[in-house]
Structure 1
């Protein structure tokens, strides 16, 4: 049997025109089953004969059972939505490629799209879109050899992905009014809360954080009060200040909140900015 070369772009014409998020929806059970079968096949071979090579790089990485790991996509996931990830032998924390639809895809291609209508802020609905959220928060924006900046999100988290120029550049998540605050108590959120905002650092200072905050506030026109989860980062405070300077009618509406968001757990963001209670970054996340 000859050596197999697995590139970041799939071999057939259809795959070269599309990316994983553009394929028909896949069931997570089927995804895991295909990954398990592939791993068994790899382990049963007498010798390693597969290599992964980025289309844009000369270096290649041998695909062996020793440099493949399982990734769990969701927080506290009893069902265990798992997929295979390829990593360098000397750096298990790094993710080079993912096994999807019978091929290895480099991370930068998993967060891309060939669909021209997939642009702007769009609700997260499919498993592949949730995978992209995972990659943005746990892999793409993760400093080398350091822990991820964000925790893994629950599978039911309400979110929107931000698409620009054929790629996912950020997302935000929302805790809706009436949803449970956690899995161990019966407390529910008393108001809609903007929980996580992420913009890829290469896309900072383009107004994208402001775009997401504006979208969040406009999504709840009938709510008198809206929240943002504590603590606010310095860059998020900068976005809030910019937004509230442009939208005076929201100054009495936007609060920093602790779950579940009772009045004693709310602090008016504009007031705190005026009282200089925040550290404000010069670099907005958008």
Structure 2
């Protein structure tokens, strides 16, 4: 099994969905998180990853469902590696049709699902979407797959889910720090400036922020830069333009971090998404 990765994008008119088709042997994903869900089905081999304090394994016949903002990594469980297909839906897309209140109350306690029906539906939806032959059929399969995953494996969150930074005052401070970091990706505030802005010592600020996000501010900011880079690349911007716009030191710096998080280089991601969204050529008749 060689190393390959192909990204594509589906737009249903309201939401954009990124899709990854990949096989890896030596690649190791750095610890990161997503703003979206990650729903992956292994088609060959076995993957392992650290998630919520445990080492998890996902092999053929299982489904991995990772929730937004949950730190995790990823690597082969065996020397032969693994191949998988992954969907990255936003919460709005995954729970489309559910009420807002219920949407935020549903979670997935166990990230590994062994359910042949759900596995089949997710894999079929991914295959239809990446083939791009019949958008209506593909979107229908996607809706059926999401419904199966939610109805069969989603569960109501407990009243006190023990979320990080559940203290309202701490949550507000973390939100302020995030806003300041995102205000200008190219020139973030210093550690002392961030701490002073929320009236905490640098040490206390670091503890509060890491408890809430799973990352210290500098690492969280790098992951946000990668997230913004994905959006700009998907819109057609070049890697050189994106590295400058998102605060990376240079294109090589962007490439190193982008591949650690997404499994592909910025150029490969841009080309994959552009090819997937470019309308097919129309052949002229004789």
Q: Same fold (TM over 0.5)?
A: no
Q: TM-score, normalised by structure 1?
A: 0.21
| Structure number with higher helix proportion | 2
**Larger RCO of the pair (alpha carbons < 8 Å, separation 6+):** 2
